C-alpha cells in the first residue's frame, strides 16, 4: 500500500539522517519506501548533498555534479564515501561515492564555500504571483504541496517549459539544499516530452524508457524550503535518445537561490514513434 503524504515526509527525513560508518568520512543511509524497482535519483542527490555538508560542517554546499553509472537497489542501504581533495579556509572540494554491494550507483563532485560579503545582483525574468490552491497537484513522490498550471501527463503538445511552485512542511533550514536537490530530479524529463504529441510523463516505462545520466545543482544564496519556491525549468533539446533540461529556483519575492541542469536517456517505444 502506498505511503500517505505525512508518512512519505517522515520517511524522507529519516533517509536524510545519515549515520557515520567506519572508514573516516563515510556514511550509511537507508532508502525511501517508494515501491520503485530502483532508487529514485533525487534520493541519491539529496543524500550526497547531506554527506558533503556533514564532511565539512563549517561550509555550505555550493555545487554538486552527479553521475549515475548504474541503478541502485531499493532493498539495500547505500554507503557514502567522501574524499577531500582540498579544504581551505573558504573553499573545499570533495568527491562523494554512493556504493552498494553490486558496485557504485552514483558519483558526485561537490564544491563547498563559506559565505562572504560582497556585491550582489541578478538578471532574471520577474517571478509571477503564487498560483492559488485550485492549481494544487499531487506530484509523487514529493511529500509536500506543489502547484502548477501545466499538466505533464497531458498527451497534448505544448512548449517544453514548466513553472512549479513548492513548499515543504516545516523543516530545518540546513536541509533546504538537500530537499530542493531532491525535487529538481523529478520533472525535467516530463518537461522535455511536452512538445511530443500523444506522450506524457505518465507514459513512463510504457511508451518510453528514461533514466537520468547526470545532474548538477548550484546553490547561490541561503534559503528555506518551507517557504514557497518556484522551480522554473526549460528543456531546450531532445536528440539522439537523450534529453537535456535546466532550471532556476526562486523565492516568492524573486530571489534566485539555486539553479540546476540534467541530461537523461530518453528512448521511445517503437509503437510510439
Q: What is the pLDDT of residue 1?
A: 56
The three grid cell numbers given for residue 68, joined into one nine-digit string: 549515475
Instruction: Give the distance between the most distant pair of CA atoms in the chain.
Output: 57
pTM score of the predicted model: 0.95
Q: What is the pLDDT of residue 62?
A: 98
Structure-model confidence comparison of residues 205 and 18, the more confident one: 18
Q: What is the rounded CA–CA span in Å between residue 232 and residue 70?
A: 28
Q: What is the pLDDT of residue 137?
A: 96
pLDDT over threshold 50, residue 114: yes
Say what the alpha-carbon torsion angle 148, 67, 37, 243 is, to the nearest 10 degrees.
50
Q: What is the pLDDT of residue 197?
A: 93
Q: What is the pLDDT of residue 24?
A: 82
Candidates 234, 229, 237, 233; CA nearest to 256 is 229
Cβ 229 vs Cβ 253: under 8 Å: no
pLDDT over threshold 90, residue 107: yes
53-98 pLDDT, tens digit per residue, is 999 999 999 999 999 999 999 999 999 999 999 999 999 999 999 9
Question: How many CB atoms neighbour CB 233 within 10 A?
Answer: 24
pLDDT over threshold 60, residue 188: yes
Tell me the H-state helices in 26-139: 41-55
Cβ 189 vs Cβ 214: under 8 Å: no
Mean pLDDT, range 11-15, rounded to an integer: 97
Percent of the chain with pLDDT over 70: 98
The three grid cell numbers given for residue 167, joined into one nine-digit string: 513548499
* pLDDT tier, 183 (very low <50, low <70, confident <90, very high otherwise): very high
Cβ 57 vs Cβ 42: under 8 Å: no
Cβ 43 vs Cβ 50: under 8 Å: no
Mean pLDDT of the chain: 94
* pLDDT tier, 111 (very low <50, low <70, confident <90, very high otherwise): very high
Q: What is the rounded CA–CA span in Å between residue 175 and residue 250?
A: 17
pLDDT over threshold 80, residue 102: yes
Q: Give the number of residues written for the chain.
A: 273
* pLDDT tier, 270 (very low <50, low <70, confident <90, very high otherwise): low
Say what the alpha-carbon torsion angle 4, 10, 12, 17 is, to the nearest 10 degrees.
-170
147 Cα distance to chain centroid: 17
- How far separated are the first and last CA of the chain, in Å rounded? 34
Q: What is the pLDDT of residue 204?
A: 81
Candidates 159, 160, 133; CA nearest to 148 is 133
Least confident of 79-88, 165-174, 199-208: 199-208
Q: What is the pLDDT of residue 273?
A: 38
Say what the alpha-carbon torsion angle 169, 152, 46, 86 is, to the nearest 10 degrees.
-130
The three grid cell numbers given for residue 39, joined into one nine-digit string: 532508487
215 Cα distance to chain centroid: 8
* pLDDT tier, 52 (very low <50, low <70, confident <90, very high otherwise): very high
Q: What is the rounded CA–CA span in Å between residue 184 and residue 206?
A: 23
Cβ 210 vs Cβ 266: under 8 Å: yes
133-167 pLDDT, tens digit per residue, is 999 999 999 999 999 999 999 999 999 999 999 99
Mean pLDDT, range 222-251, rounded to an integer: 97
pLDDT over threshold 90, residue 259: yes
Amino acid at each position: 500500500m502506498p505511503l500517505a503524504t505525512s508518512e512519505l515526509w517522515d520517511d524522507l527525513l529519516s533517509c536524510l539522517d545519515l549515520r557515520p560508518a567506519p572508514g573516516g568520512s563515510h556514511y550509511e543511509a537507508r532508502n525511501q519506501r517508494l515501491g520503485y524497482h530502483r532508487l529514485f535519483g533525487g534520493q541519491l542527490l539529496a543524500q550526497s548533498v547531506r554527506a558533503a555538508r556533514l564532511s565539512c560542517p563549517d561550509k555550505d554546499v555550493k555545487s554538486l555534479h552527479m553521475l549515475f553509472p548504474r541503478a541502485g537497489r531499493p532493498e539495500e542501504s547505500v554507503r557514502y564515501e567522501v574524499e577531500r581533495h582540498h579544504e581551505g579556509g573558504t573553499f573545499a572540494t570533495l568527491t562523494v561515492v554512493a556504493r552498494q554491494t553490486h558496485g557504485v550507483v552514483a558519483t558526485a563532485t561537490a564544491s563547498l564555500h563559506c559565505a562572504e560579503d560582497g556585491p550582489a545582483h541578478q538578471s532574471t525574468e520577474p517571478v509571477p504571483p503564487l498560483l492559488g490552491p485550485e492549481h494544487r497537484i499531487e506530484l509523487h513522490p514529493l511529500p509536500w504541496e506543489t502547484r502548477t498550471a501545466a499538466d505533464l501527463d497531458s498527451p497534448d503538445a505544448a512548449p517544453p517549459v514548466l513553472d512549479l511552485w513548492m513548499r515543504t512542511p516545516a523543516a530545518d533550514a540546513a536541509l533546504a539544499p538537500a530537499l530542493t536537490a531532491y525535487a529538481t530530479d523529478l520533472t525535467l524529463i516530463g518537461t522535455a516530452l511536452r512538445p511530443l504529441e500523444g506522450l506524457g510523463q505518465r507514459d513512463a516505462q510504457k511508451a518510453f524508457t528514461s533514466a537520468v545520466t547526470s545532474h548538477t545543482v548550484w546553490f547561490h544564496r541561503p534559503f528555506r524550503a518551507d517557504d514557497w519556491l518556484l522551480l522554473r525549468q526549460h528543456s531546450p533539446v531532445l536528440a539522439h535518445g537523450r534529453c537535456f533540461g535546466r532550471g532556476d529556483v526562486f523565492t516568492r519575492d524573486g530571489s534566485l537561490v539555486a539553479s540546476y541542469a540534467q541530461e537523461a536517456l530518453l528512448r521511445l517505444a517503437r509503437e510510439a514513434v
